[in-house]
Structure 1
Amino acid sequence: MGRVWDIPVHDSTRVRDVRVAVEAASAQARLDPHRTAVAALVATELATNLVKHASGGRVLIDLVDRPGATRAPAVQVAAIDYGPGIPDITAALRDGYSTSEASLGAGLGTCMRIASDFDLYSTSRGTVAVARFDQEPATRREGNRQGPRAGGINVPLGHAEHSGDAWSCARAGSRLTLILADGLGHGAHAAHASSAAADELHRSAHLPPEEILRHMHPALRATRGAAVAVAQVDTDTGELAFAGVGNIGARLHAGDSWDHLVSHPGIVGAQFPASVPVRRRPWRPGDLLVLHSDGLPSRWIPPNDLGLLAHEPAVVAATILRDASSAANPVRDDTSVAVLASDPVDRRHDPA
């Protein structure tokens, strides 16, 4: 059960709080001193940009899974604002480019180069930037964009230390599986339930979604229980399989439309249904699935910008979260959004 840091950044005094939080997250992820310093540099640059260019925003820091052979977590830093956006993204991503006198001199281009993963999305409605750090140096992002990808964002209610929601992903053979779990209630006990669901995924990722849920039920009996949705893409068959128990929302973008995928009533760990319906859909290039807990407003409007849908899943998730709420209408529960994306046409920097 990991800590989530949700830090409002509206003046320069909070920039230090962001750096301290990233250093604490890096210690939990067991990053070495060099990678910890790199993470702190990028996080400080992103927080400084919020103050100088966007009149403030928020930074979310979390430990996230990387699908692969090990469960070594990465530190994820998401900077979210409602500012005027970046007029020239290409120039902003050039190594060493900076327009802020208060900048550390790194610039977004340097952030992109030294982070393990980095992506941003910016329009006149604001900017979302997501950086991840693990023990490895910057990866070849274009080469790693093959096949389905997963990512997400997690926000605790009222800036609490723990969120009762959790998302996780795991790869087993040709299958990439994404789950989103919402533990009953709030706080550490709810987080214990959702974390137990994430742990069980990594023991049963080789199974189909309905069997993963059945394995989670006894694993969560000692907890409060949780609503859980499981989405699995099999690249050999080109199929998406979805199954859920409880009130996790799911919307699939395929072709030019968004469709709802409905979970079955129940609670994993407490009131498990006799049968779990499985929804199956073809999985094609450009398809994208959004899972979300009930902290997201029920009538949220899916994005219609194809340029956004081509970004990294965590950026898509953070943008959906930002645009579904506001300072005047904040989320009223722990809120998590997770995205499963296929290989898109690269429209990431098309004008919105």
Structure 2
Amino acid sequence: MDLNLAGSLTQVLPVEDDSHIGHARRTARKLAEDLGFDEVDAGRVSLVVTELATNILKHAVHGEIHLRSLPDSSPGVEVIAVDRGPGFDPTHGLADGFSTRGTQGIGLGAALRQAQVFDVHSDSRGSVLLARFYPRQAPVQDRRYGVSHHSLHNDPACGDLWAICARDQTVSVLVIDGLGHGPVAEEAALAGADAFSRHAMEEPGSVLDAIHQQMRGTRGGAVAIAQYDGAQRRLQFNGIGNIGALLIGGEKPRGLASHPGIVGLQFRRVPTVAYPDCGGQLLILYSDGLQSRWNLRDYAGLAFRHPAIIATVLHRDYCRGKDDVTVLVITLETSDDRR
């Protein structure tokens, strides 16, 4: 089945006092309704956001609710609760009746029942909880990808952009970082994304050439293109500029090398590099708004969590706070994984 996912910014809602709980609930419900959720399905979203925001205040004092629409054949809503609290043991915390604060302890149990997709990572650094919602009558096929996508200072214009295109067993992934930030950087990124949408299934070097031509006359930017063939379990990669890229899942992480230059202005064309036997591994792409010195092995069990959890944990702990930032994590699935 053909699939085209266009980048959408992560909406960040602070949770620091009781008034923020209501605001988060109303904002999440409106997002669900705008996506076509009926009253019952929008109510499920409202309930879980209320419970997650309440838990943040009770157990971590403050944190954030991240909201994002999930563009697909059946649009969905993604809710992620983020904090830097003391953490908890998920094997106990998800059971109804368990509470560390003398409350009824129904919050996480309710989230687990109401959301079609639920996952959690918690340690001494804090907790990140994921809930994804789709209309009840729609067939649910959760895509094993996650994105944490933020503009500097919550500017409505973002110079970072991502996209995913899938056809049969081939998945093509794009991350662009337009030079600087704000509307001019966004203009450059949008030009490149337009070219990607039309050429995504071509060889990555050819896709990069098309993006370069489309970005001429703009500020230009850094571009990374990764294309995975699930039938052959092979990844191809081509990148220009400072988009970081890693493959995780083998004996040790493999860095995917980008080359100097500015797409849209000037760069030296380089051959696409192929990486065999990548089935089941994680591909992580990130713009330079994220620090590069991190290691998933420092987080026990994180590599086995949902990609949306991984992307959010990395953003929480390694965002520079000086630029737009995008972290995209995708599981490279084979045909056997989809059965």
TM-score by structure 1 length? 0.80
Stretch moving more, 253-262 or 51-60: 253-262
Pick the aligned partner of 1:155 from 143, 150, 156: 150
Change (3 A) 1:130 1:277: farther
Amino acid at match of 1:152: V
Change (3 A) 1:189 1:65: farther
Match of 2:94 in 1: 93
Match of 1:331 in 2: 321
1:54 and 1:229 map into 2 onto residues whose CA distance is: 37
Residue 153 of structure 1 deviates from its aligned partner by: 0.8
Amino acid at match of 1:324: Y
Change (3 A) 1:140 1:134: closer
Residue 264 (str. 1) matches residue 264 (str. 2): no
Residue 225 of structure 1 deviates from its aligned partner by: 3.4
Residue 291 (str. 1) matches residue 256 (str. 2): no
Residue 253 (str. 1) matches residue 248 (str. 2): yes
Structure 2 counterparts to residues 25-64 of structure 1, below 5 A: 25-64=31-70
Residue 250 of structure 1 deviates from its aligned partner by: 1.0
Amino acid at match of 1:79: A
Residue 28 of structure 1 deviates from its aligned partner by: 4.7
Instruction: Indicate conservation of the 8 Å contact 1:64/1:75, yes or no.
Output: yes
User: SS at 1:8's partner residue?
Assistant: strand
Match of 2:19 in 1: 13
Change (3 A) 1:215 1:35: farther
Amino acid at match of 1:191: E
2:150 and 2:69 map into 1 onto residues whose CA distance is: 12
Structure 2 counterparts to residues 1-352 of structure 1, below 5 A: 2=8, 4-66=10-72, 70=73, 73-87=75-89, 89-94=90-95, 107-136=107-136, 149-221=144-216, 223-268=218-263, 270-271=264-265, 273-305=267-299, 307-325=301-319, 331-342=321-332
2:84 and 2:296 map into 1 onto residues whose CA distance is: 18
Amino acid at match of 2:254: D
2:96 and 2:236 map into 1 onto residues whose CA distance is: 41
Change (3 A) 1:189 1:106: farther
* Number of aligned positions between the proteins: 328
Residue 315 of structure 1 deviates from its aligned partner by: 0.6
Q: Give the RMSD, CA atoms, in angstroms.
A: 3.1
Residue 140 of structure 1 deviates from its aligned partner by: 7.1
1:19 and 1:191 map into 2 onto residues whose CA distance is: 30
Change (3 A) 1:163 1:49: farther
1:113 and 1:158 map into 2 onto residues whose CA distance is: 35
User: SS at 2:262's partner residue?
Assistant: coil
Change (3 A) 1:119 1:247: same
Instruction: Indicate conservation of the 8 Å contact 1:116/1:139, yes or no.
Output: no
Structure 1 residue ranges without an equivalent (≥5): 345-352
Change (3 A) 1:316 1:181: same
User: SS at 2:294's partner residue?
Assistant: coil
1:318 and 1:13 map into 2 onto residues whose CA distance is: 24
Stretch moving more, 170-179 or 299-308: 299-308
Change (3 A) 1:273 1:86: same
Residue 84 of structure 1 deviates from its aligned partner by: 1.0
Instruction: Indicate conservation of the 8 Å contact 2:119/2:131, yes or no.
Output: yes
Instruction: Indicate conservation of the 8 Å contact 1:209/1:241, yes or no.
Output: yes
Instruction: Indicate conservation of the 8 Å contact 1:301/1:324, yes or no.
Output: no
Instruction: Give CA deviations for 1:143-194 in whole Å, capped at 9, x if unaligned.
Output: x68xxx3221112222333433222222111112222222222234433443
Instruction: Give CA deviations for 1:234-268 in whole Å, capped at 9, x if unaligned.
Output: 11111111111221111222423123212123333
Change (3 A) 1:126 1:169: same
2:111 and 2:33 map into 1 onto residues whose CA distance is: 20
Identity of aligned residues (%): 38
Residue 56 of structure 1 deviates from its aligned partner by: 1.0
1:212 and 1:102 map into 2 onto residues whose CA distance is: 55
Instruction: Indicate conservation of the 8 Å contact 1:60/1:155, yes or no.
Output: no
Amino acid at match of 1:212: V
Change (3 A) 1:158 1:182: same
